Amino acid sequence: MSAPSLPSPAPSAPAPGAAWRVPPALLAGIVVAGMLVSGWAPHDRVTWLLETFWVVIGLPLVVLARRRFPLTDLLCCLLAVHALVLAVGGHYTYAQVPLGDWIRDTFGLDRNPYDRIGHLMQGFVPAVLVREVLSRTSPLRGSRWLAPLTVSACLAFSALFELFEWAAAVIGGHGADAFLATQGDVWDTQWDMFCALIGATVSVLVLGRLHDRRMAALEAAPR
């Protein structure tokens, strides 16, 4: 009489949230398409180049580094969204984006707020990028210093960008007005950095745990 067969072990459950993986090629294609549309007869070609410079530099870097340092799907999605925000701002100039005009008219604002949206994104998305690089390349992962250092790095980048705008104003004079998009606000520089600070802080607080799970899923995935 043959021995009874033992039940086969149940398959192990996948790690929470480990299933979704957005194809990087799809995101890159969306960004390239957005840049092509943005670059078709923009309001001001020089302004378009200045506003989309980060996409032109950043996209090839991400593609070239994908083998040695692949990014989480969360970060890739956020970078793609940020690139499209820059592409829209570059095409119309930030002070004349139709979405911003609609928000201004709907809520009775005194200026087109798309520039503020852009600077919120300037803190929100780079915060995830900085957090990922620090978490994966330094001993800061799980440290209480990770969050404040991430926010500080984003605020420093925002200040550097404002210096870049100042240099553009000195060199270009009134020709750089569309790039600056101050819309007559003497406190525009301070508002820009404050928006970046808010964006980075919200990003760290809201996306921190999700980001940790996506990094764990990336490290567990076969290569």
DSSP output for 141-206: TT-TTHHHHHHHHHHHHHHHHHHHHHHHHHHHGGGGHHHH--TT-TTHHHHHHHHHHHHHHHHHHH
| Exposure string over 182-217, b if 16+ CB within 10 A, otherwise e | beeeeebbeebbbbbbebbbebbeebeeebeebbeb
- Average pLDDT, stretch 148-175? 84
Assess whether pLDDT exceeds 80 at residue 8: no
**Rounded to whole angstroms, how far apart are CA atoms 187 and 176?**
17
When pLDDT is cut at 50, 70 and 90, the band that residue 178 belongs to is: low
pLDDT at 4: 52
Percentage with pLDDT > 70 across the chain: 84
Straight-line distance from the first to the last Cα atom of the chain, in angstroms, rounded to the nearest whole number: 47
Average pLDDT over residues 208-216: 95
Assigned token pair, 13:
């459950």
Torsion of CA 207, 209, 215, 221, to 10 degrees: -120
Name the band, by pLDDT with cuts 50, 70 and 90, for residue 14: very low
Dump pLDDT digits (tens) for 91-150.
998 889 999 999 999 999 888 999 999 999 999 999 999 999 999 999 999 899 999 999
Report the chain's mean pLDDT, rounded to a whole number.
Answer: 86
Task: With cut-offs at 50, 70 and 90, classify the pLDDT of residue 77.
Answer: very high
Q: What contacts 35, CB < 8 A, 6 or more positions away?
A: 52, 55, 56, 83, 87
Residue 32 makes CB contacts below 8 A (sequence gap 6+) with 59
Using the predicted structure, report yes or no on whether residue 67 has a pLDDT greater than 70.
yes
Q: What pLDDT, on the 0 to 100 scale, is given for residue 95? A: 86
User: Is the Cβ–Cβ distance between 31 and 59 less than 8 Å?
Assistant: yes
How far apart (Å, rounded) are the C-alpha atoms in residues 210 and 212? 5
Decide if pLDDT at 21 tops 50: yes
Other beta carbons within 10 angstroms of residue 28's beta carbon come to 19
Q: What is the pLDDT of residue 164?
A: 81
pTM: 0.85
